[in-house]
Chains A and B, each alone.
Chain A
Amino acid sequence: MAIDAATVRKVAKLARIAVPEDRLEPLSQELSSIMNWIEQLQEVDVDGVEPMTSAVAAKLPMREDVVTDGGHPDWVLANAPKSADGFFIVPKVVE
């Protein structure tokens, strides 16, 4: 499966990674060579096979719906690139 430059641009957008124009073509080749190698999966007969979604068949546990931690806004904000007055500062989202 070849991934052309236009597809790279689309995937980069989906992945929220800025890719400069001059990297689209090299990336298209790198990703295509990986996807071409992956293509061999099409040979496998998977008719009637249930997809495997977890490594161990274990029932997900339930717990009480109660607060078990929290109350430390200073910890939460300690690594923020920008913060003030107990809030994260982010670029303007609403016009």
Chain B
Amino acid sequence: MELTNLTLKAALDGLAAKRFSSEELTRAYLAAIDAANPSLNAYVVTSHDKALEMAKASDARRAQGEAGPLEGAPIGVKDLFATKGVRTTACSKILGEFIPPYESSVTANLWREGAVMLGKLNLDEFAMGSSNETSAFGPVVNPWRAQGSDKKLTPGGSSGGSAAAVAADLCLAATGTDTGGSIRQPAAFTGTVGIKPTYGRCSRWGIVAFASSLDQAGPIAKTVEDAAILLRAMSGHDQKDSTSLNIKVPDFASHIGQSVKGLRIGVPKEYRLDGIPAEIAKLWDEGVAWLKAAGCDVREVSLPHTKYALPAYYIIAPAEASSNLARYDGMRFGLRAEGANLTEVYENSRAAGFGAEVQRRIMIGAYVLSAGYYDAYYLRAQKVRRRIADDFDTAFQEVDAILTPTAPSAAFGIGERVSDPVSMYLNDVFTVTTNLAGLPGLSLPAGLDSQGLPLGLQLIGRPLDEGTLFSLASVMEQAAGFSARPQKWWE
């Protein structure tokens, strides 16, 4: 038995049956990380000592009969979650060697349930990017390669390290965050499952803030069931986040395998973009066929403001970011550059600490919020956001869930799109709408393109209706029979 090939569910079962210990499992993952990371660059911190310490403590708890729901499961953590005593940088130079004296609420939930932290996973700087190329620690390499090619592909972003680590068997599952598609697009690029839950499901406390009205944590995992297991553990009310919802967390995994007969599924006509690859359109049609075969009633719906979602996002997200990132001033933590006076110290610290894309977004944000432009840009974008949310409200009067592609392409090459910000932004064209509306969105691997690269389909649900998405996704997962795995060329 290859321990690192297990799903989260199978590993939890194996641990419960004492077929192997958490320490054995953790050691297997640490060895896999040591072998792969020089090639993939998925982890920016690997904490061998801490991981083994947590694994041994987990084994001791289990021996005492005190096993939690995730007892002994080795998990990777996106480096946007503050982890007490373990360097957390959002992959930005401006945080330097920041070591949080506190733990994010989401990761605290995982450790309370018995999970083991393997390390911190690479991401685009401050989660701003769709290819992991803006990371101060360099890009992550996608474990997948096109057939017959050794060209390095991006794993998508911003949760590129999380997605690559799950796809390459470098953790059982990983945490991610999603502001415009940062869980779902990398999941699609790496043949993994990712879900951004309803805004407010997961506490944002201790997650480095990007755009607070859009940021939401969620899991990236190998199977739909694994994603359901990890999402339940990550979710829950938290007094320290005023937007965290004070509602009961459902047992999402109980929705796996439930009948979807009679569910009404919407296919939004505005998502049939010109220039979308034929293979993606065809896969979307196959997804429709799978759901019809399972007894769903599939119909066309209209989301007329779809094309305005990305431009509205690129006002709202930078505006919120320019405000959130004002805290990086070189005074209390992180990088401080010298200057002739206080203002120069601020300006030089921020110029030296922030990468080019982050600087661009902060400046866009400062511009759209500045006197004379606020109404024309920021206020208008918030009104367009309402239009987009209203479109979904209308659609959800007729249907129970919506099916779309996750991303407009398969994984692309490192360096291919960095020179054109807008073409990079278009990666999120199918995912960003749910962030604006606060809705849950799940991406699952549905097939391979002609080059052998994974493609994903996305299910969008009503607020708090992740359960229906898990039922639908498990039906589609069965129908797709997606079993392809990347070749382990780095071993």
- A-side residues, CB < 8 A to B, are 3, 7-8, 10-12, 14-19, 27, 30-31, 33-35, 37-44, 46, 49-56, 58, 60-61, 63, 72, 75-76, 78-82, 88, 90-93
Contacts and interface: CB of A to CB of B under 8 A. Distances in A.
Given A54-B243, A56-B243, A81 B335 contact: yes
Given A15-B363, A46-B380, A93 B342 contact: yes
Interface string B293-316: 000000000000101100110110
24 contacts: A8-B363, A11-B370, A14-B366, A15-B322, A18-B347, A18-B348, A18-B350, A19-B351, A27-B360, A31-B363, A33-B421, A34-B360, A37-B314, A38-B377, A40-B308, A40-B311, A41-B311, A41-B315, A49-B387, A58-B243, A78-B101, A80-B333, A81-B334, A91-B341
B386 A16 contact: no
A66 to B, nearest CB: 12
Contact of A33 (B97, B308, B387, B422): B422
Question: Of residues A3, A7, A40, A46, which shows the largest number of chain B Cβ atoms within 10 Å of its Cβ?
Answer: A46
B329 interface: yes
Given A56-B199, A61-B239, A91-B339, 19 more contacts: A16-B326, A17-B351, A17-B359, A31-B364, A31-B367, A33-B421, A38-B315, A46-B384, A52-B382, A55-B199, A55-B200, A55-B213, A56-B198, A56-B245, A63-B239, A76-B101, A79-B98, A79-B332, A91-B345
A34 B386 contact: no
A44 B377 CA distance: 12
Interface of B: 97-99, 101-102, 198-200, 213-214, 239, 242-243, 245-246, 305, 307-308, 311-312, 314-315, 322, 326, 329-336, 339, 341-348, 350-351, 354, 359-360, 362-367, 370, 377, 379-387, 389, 421-422, 435-438, 463
B140 to A, nearest CB: 24
B437 A55 contact: yes
A50 B379 CA distance: 9
A60 B200 CA distance: 12
Question: Of residues A33, A38, A43, A90, which shows the largest number of chain B Cβ atoms within 10 Å of its Cβ?
Answer: A38
Contacts of A17: 347, 350-351, 354, 359, 362-363
A27 B359 CA distance: 10
Contacts of A79: 97-99, 332-334
A52 B386 contact: yes
B258 to A, nearest CB: 25
Contacts of B351: 17-19
B427 to A, nearest CB: 14
A93 B345 CA distance: 11
Nearest to B390: A49
A61 B246 contact: yes
Contacts of A80: 331-333
Contacts of A34: 314, 360, 364, 421-422
Contacts of A15: 322, 350, 359, 362-363, 365-366
